Amino acid sequence: MTDPKTSSSKDRRRRAHEVSSERRRAQRSRAVEHLHEERAAKQAAVMEQLEEVPEDPLFTFPEVKVDLKAEMERLKNLRRFVFIRRCMTLASVVLSALIQAYTIQAFVNPANLLSSGFTGVAILIDRITSLFGFSFPTFVGMVALNIPVALICWRSISRRFVVFSMIQVFLASFFLRVFTFEPIIDNLMLQVIFGGFLYGFAIAVALRGGASTAGTDFISLMVSNKTGQSIWGLIFAGNCVVLLIFGALFGWEAAAYSIIFQFISTKAIEMFYTRYDRVTLQITTTRPEQILEDYNEIHKHGSSVVEIMGGRSRKRYWMITTVVSSYEVDDIMHLIRVHDGGAVVNVFRTENFFGNFYRAPID
């Protein structure tokens, strides 16, 4: 039988042990909590220090914000200054001459091709004279053929246009004389395709800058200014005669490839130079007087105006219809938006146009 005193003693020791264990657990819990609090305090102190650091770093770079539309508008406005226009024309002429010289040496000569215009005639003369044991270099022929035409056209077309076009010819001749460009493509068809594209691009660069590669451009402008007629059909016939001579002397395969070359160069010019493309504008507006006043003063194209009614709004509007050159569309759109921001403008290509069409002179 168990002694009551012994049993109560064991109970007291057990309770004391439990109390002691509970006290130790509480102490450990408080110690852990204290560590967590210290760690949190340290983190808070570090964050406060970071927040106190100045926002501006030691090295700063200015924030650059470019409004592309505004910059393009600013560059376009610079064209109002004559000096800027002349610098842009000169830069276009230099680039055009360099590309043209590169194309002749890297594509036209290696592929035995013939370009169009006076440059093609100069290349043909160079190759014909080579058959007789002497050479009349292409760069000499380009200058010799263009100078008489420039003198003839001096009084009939823009003198500034003649001067910059002749600068292009002299630079192209100079680059042909001093530079030697090696072909980068051995495949004949690729030479024809890429050469035709680059040659047309070179001409388009000069045209967009307000100059040309001279030669037939001088003749066509002179005839157009005096008679109002285009002679591009006769120029095309002249190129065909040159190709026939070239084919008879150097093989019809070379002539055929030259036709492809000239076709691609013509398409490249049409792609990058749209001065001679015409489009029709249909402008639906509530302010025809304000628009027409500035339009007639700046662009000088004829137009017609009819009164119409909105299909949904049943309000009264006016429709202005006019035909313009494609390069004028952006300026006309800006003019319209200044007077009527809600105007509706429909632009579509004009395939044929019969009647008097005003074409602004090249400046």
Per-residue pLDDT tens digits for 188-228:
999 999 999 999 999 889 888 888 888 877 777 677 666 65
Cα atoms in the Cβ-side hemisphere of radius 13 Å centred on 223: 13
Least confident residue range of 37-41, 148-152, 218-222, 347-351: 218-222
Residue 147's contacts (CB-CB under 8 Å, 6 or more residues apart) are 166
pLDDT above 70 (res 184): yes
SS3 155: coil
List phi, psi (to 5°) of 307.
Answer: -90, 135
pLDDT over 90 for what percent of the chain? 30
Average pLDDT estimate for 353-361? 68
pTM over 0.85: no
Distance CA 362, CA 157 (A): 9
Average pLDDT estimate for 14-19? 74
Judged on CB neighbours under 10 Å (0-12, 13-18, 19+), 266 is middle
Ranked by mean pLDDT, the top range of 168-177, 201-210, 263-272, 322-331 is: 168-177
According to DSSP H, which parts of the chain are helical? 4-52, 68-78, 82-103, 117-131, 138-153, 159-178, 188-208, 216-227, 232-250, 252-272, 288-298, 329-339
pLDDT above 60 (res 1): no
Top pLDDT among 122 and 277 is at 122
Q: What is the pLDDT of residues 43-101, one digit of tens each?
A: 777 777 666 655 555 555 555 565 666 666 666 566 567 788 788 889 999 999 999 99
List phi, psi (to 5°) of 173.
Answer: -65, -40
DSSP state of 363: -
In this prediction, residue 166 carries a pLDDT of 92
Top pLDDT among 350 and 308 is at 308
- Mean pLDDT computed over every residue of the chain: 82
